[in-house]
Amino acid sequence: MTFTGRVAVVTGASSGIGAAVATDLARRGARVVAVARRADRLAEVVETCRTSSPESISHPADVSSRATCDEIVATTEARFGRVDILVNNAGMSIHKHAARTSVEEIERLMAVNFFAPVYLSMAALPGMLERRDGSIVNVTSVAGYVPNPGEAAYGASKAALSRWSHGLGVDLDGTGVHVGVLSPG
């Protein structure tokens, strides 16, 4: 697959896997829209991206709301005409015993880890389907398959994202839109 000229939205791009993916895609010629909450760190990543892909931009945002996710895709499409690659990498964990975790903490975690990828994918999908071309990559975790102490909510969110991704991939078979899952851990 060639990445030259492609438009890639990468969430959680201010550090770790997201930063590595954003800079690698830029090195391969993609125009990167790097998304994360930490604007200062995001700016550093985008500066690195711009050495290979000058049109790359930062989009500081908290992906926990549907409106924000819709706006990220709309802004990308307005600026670049489309979203070719969507890497849903933003995530958070609680690292707390389930009995001491509040429902509000779990809701926030599910908003970032599960619903944000759903919102972003569903916003980008119509254009991908129309062009019969696109890739959605959802970053899950081994914790979605193997429970860890203090990560009941985190594991559940990653398991949900994994199952949704596989189901989405089945539904999109033959459309030209690929769905992949990356499960580090």
Q: What are the residues facing 138 on neighbouring strands? A: 88, 181
Place of tokens 């690195």: 48
- Of 3, 115, 119, 154, catalytic: 154
Q: Which residues are bridge partners to 177 per DSSP?
A: 134
DSSP states of 110-164: HIIIIIHHHHHHHHHHHHHHHHT-EEEEEE--GGGTS--TT-HHHHHHHHHHHHH
**If we measure between CA atoms, which residue out of 40, 39, 45 comes closest to residue 16?**
45
Q: Quick check: is 119 catalytic?
A: no
Q: Which two tokens stand for residue 42?
A: 């995001």
Q: Any idea which residues carry the catalytic annotation?
A: 154
